[in-house]
Amino acid sequence: MVTLKELTHRYDGLGPGHRLCAGCAASIVARQVLLASDKPVIAASATGCLEVGTTIYPYSAWKIPWIHNAFENAAATITGVETMYRALKKQGKYKEDVNFVAFGGDGGTYDIGIQALSGALERGHKFVYVCYDNEAYMNTGIQRSSATPFRASTTTCPAGEVIPGKPQHRKDLAAIIAAHHIPYVAQCSPHNWRDVVGKAEKAFATDGPAFLNILSPCHRGWRIPMVDSLEIARVAVDTCFWPLYEVVDGKLKITYKPKEKLPLIEWLKMQGRYSHILKPENEHLIEEFQTEVDSEWEKLLARDGTSL
């Protein structure tokens, strides 16, 4: 895998000059992924923070060819680009070797974009889809998505007098993607650049669709100090709320097992969106959430090293 020193010499396709929040993990995620490519990259973004924050006309923070089409169609758009690339190559009209990547938030991926993504994966295009998962519709102002974790407070599932935050558990997106039997699926976290860059390298090297689900802490939505974005990602991984693993040609491999699995409360108590859950009357909710995280982790451990 590429060294940090080598990375400093790679072409940095995004920024400086974007307008994402200080402490936003999305730009870190995007740059970690782009730096992993050994070839020129063409990128697409779904509507969302990354798109809005990087391209207010007449400015653009993208130094690579980049396209935004709409919210739910980043996968359809980038595979349209990739198909044209193949068409022109076949006709001898284009010589370059290029990698293709689409970035979508959790809203644009777990929810509104899942149909277009599923179709693109099934068709088998050679492209990388990156979900930067900040666990809610942050661009429109912190509304719940199907990636929003249990009992988090958002503006459309606020912790109220009667309902203490989002009643549902999140969707297991990586498993849904893996069920498409594509060659490479991974879950990663930006607090460990080796994790994201290493998996992105494998994703770009894959001859077919590859998918990366990357945790992208949002200090506005999670109600954390902006300096804590990467630290909270580390705690998410060490509590096994956000396990790091990959599924290569159907075989699951956990890529990081914490030496000491931290209790979930360590992650929850860092976040303002969970302040209500710390009240004594809500203790059972923490237990329920912990049970769910434990159960998912146990299932993952049981599948470690096996073919799905």
Partner 1 sequence: MKRVVAYTGNEVAAEAMRQIEPDVVAAYPITPATEVVQAFSGFVSDGLIQTEMMTVESEHSAMSACVGAAAAGGRAMTVTAANGLALMWEILYCASGNRLPIAMTVVNRAMSAPINIHCDHSDSMGARDSGWIQIYSENAQEAYDNLIMALPIAEDKNVLLPIMVCFDGFIISHSIERVELLEDKEVKDFVGEYKPQFALLDLEHPKTFGPLDLQDYYIEHKRQQHEAMKFVPDAVLASAKRFEALSGRKYGLIETYKLDDADVAIVVLNSAAGSTRAVVDKMREQGIKAGLLKIRMFRPFPAELIAQSLAHCKAIAVLDRCDSFGAQGGPVAHEVRSAICNLPKVPKVIQSVYGLGGRDLNIEDIVDVFGDLKKVADTGKVEKVFDYITVRS
- For partner 1, give the closer residue by CB, 134 or 139: 139
Nearest approach, Cβ of residue 162 and partner 1 (Å): 36
- Least distance in angstroms from the C-beta of 170 to partner 1: 24
Alpha-carbon gap, residue 250 to 264, rounded angstroms: 29
Q: Are 265 and 286 in contact (CB under 8 A)?
A: yes
The neighbour count for residue 118, using CB atoms within 10 Å, is 15
- Least separation in angstroms between residue 53's CB and partner 1 is 9
Give 1 or 56: the residue with its C-beta nearer to partner 1. 56
By beta-carbon proximity to partner 1, the closer residue of 36 and 117 is 117
Nearer to partner 1, 92 or 280 (CB): 92
Tokens of 268: 């929850």
- Nearby residues of 80 by Cβ (< 8 Å), 6 or more positions away: none
Nearer to partner 1, 37 or 189 (CB): 37
Cis peptide bond prior to 16, omega within 30° of 0 = yes
d(Cα 177, Cα 67) in Å, to the nearest integer?
A: 23
The C-alpha atoms of residue 185 and residue 261 are separated, in whole angstroms, by 24
**Residue with Cβ nearer partner 1 (122 or 298):** 122
CA 67 to chain centre: 19
> What φ, ψ does residue 245 adopt, rounded to 5°?
-155, 170
Q: Contact positions toward partner 1, by CB under 8 A? A: 40, 42, 44, 51-52, 55-58, 60, 62-70, 72-73, 75-88, 90-91, 94, 96, 98, 115-116, 118-120, 122-123
Query: Least distance from C-beta 103 to partner 1, angstroms?
Result: 13
Q: How far is the CB of 43 from partner 1 (least distance, A)?
A: 9
Q: How far is the CB of 58 from partner 1 (least distance, A)?
A: 7
Q: Which helix (H) or strand (E) holds 29?
A: helix 25-35
